[in-house]
Amino acid sequence: MSTHFVKLTQPTLKLVDIFNRWENDPDLIPLTRRNSNQSELGSRQIVTLKNLTQRLKHRYLYLIYDDNHLIGEMNYMIDPKHLYKKEPETAWIGITIGDSKGRGRGIGYEGLQYLEAKIKESGLKRIELGVFEFNIAGQKLYQKLDYKEIGRIKDFTYYQNKMWSDIRMEKYL
């Protein structure tokens, strides 16, 4: 079994279908999307070829393959407005292993090390990320990679009848 990562430059309709599946998976919506109430948690978000292509204008996106099977994606943006610590030359990262069979096998750990190397290569000095306080698997992964908590944004997202904080973490490269 081998894991590899491929930079996305030209989205295809097949990829659009896969992103639609992941981004509308009821198990993933609470973890990957900010929701303000129950109806948002149940709402569909339509990915099109146009908006996936648009995303790549301000995001560097890498596809995660387990052998030849696409199981997830990870990405970074540079200095987005929503940074907790507005330090220039920061990469804001995100990762989703969309295929449940790909989770819990060390692929997120390996993938983020690859993404960090790409970010460093591009000359950026700092990484920031947000993880919801109920996402224990996410927090453990980031702690294992030495990300440090820098703050919590209260009442950030809705899940299981209440609002939860967004935990912001950083790492200097």
Ligand X SMILES: CC(C)(COP(=O)(O)OP(=O)(O)OC[C@H]1O[C@@H](n2cnc3c(N)ncnc32)[C@H](O)[C@@H]1OP(=O)(O)O)[C@@H](O)C(=O)NCCC(=O)NCCS
- Told to check if 83 binds ligand X by CB under 6 A, we report no
Burial class (CB in 10 A: 0-12, 13-18, 19+), 154: exposed
The DSSP letter of residue 104 is T
Q: Residue 163: helix, strand or coil by DSSP?
A: strand
Helical axes 136-144 vs 107-121, angle rounded to 10°: 50
- Told to check if 127 binds ligand X by CB under 6 A, we report no
Using CB under 6 A, which of 119, 141, 167, 169 touches ligand X? Answer: 141
The Cα 76–Cα 119 span in angstroms is 8
Least distance CB 88 / ligand X (angstroms): 23
Residues 6+ apart with CB under 8 A from 25: 98
Least distance CB 125 / ligand X (angstroms): 21
- Told to check if 50 binds ligand X by CB under 6 A, we report no
Which residues, numbered 89-118, are part of the site for ligand X (CB under 6 A)? 95-97, 103-109
- Told to check if 42 binds ligand X by CB under 6 A, we report no
Could you give the residue ranges of the DSSP H alpha helices within 6-106? 13-23, 29-32, 38-41, 49-55
Read off the amino acid at residue 15.
Answer: L
- Told to check if 137 binds ligand X by CB under 6 A, we report yes
Least distance CB 26 / ligand X (angstroms): 12
Question: Binding string, 17-36, against ligand X, x = CB under 6 A?
Answer: -----------x--xx----
Question: CA geometry: angle at 84 spanning 53 and 119, to 5°?
Answer: 50
Least distance CB 106 / ligand X (angstroms): 4
For ligand X, give the closer residue by CB, 47 or 97. 97
Contact positions vs ligand X (CB under 6 A): 28, 31-32, 95-97, 103-109, 131, 135-138, 140-141, 144
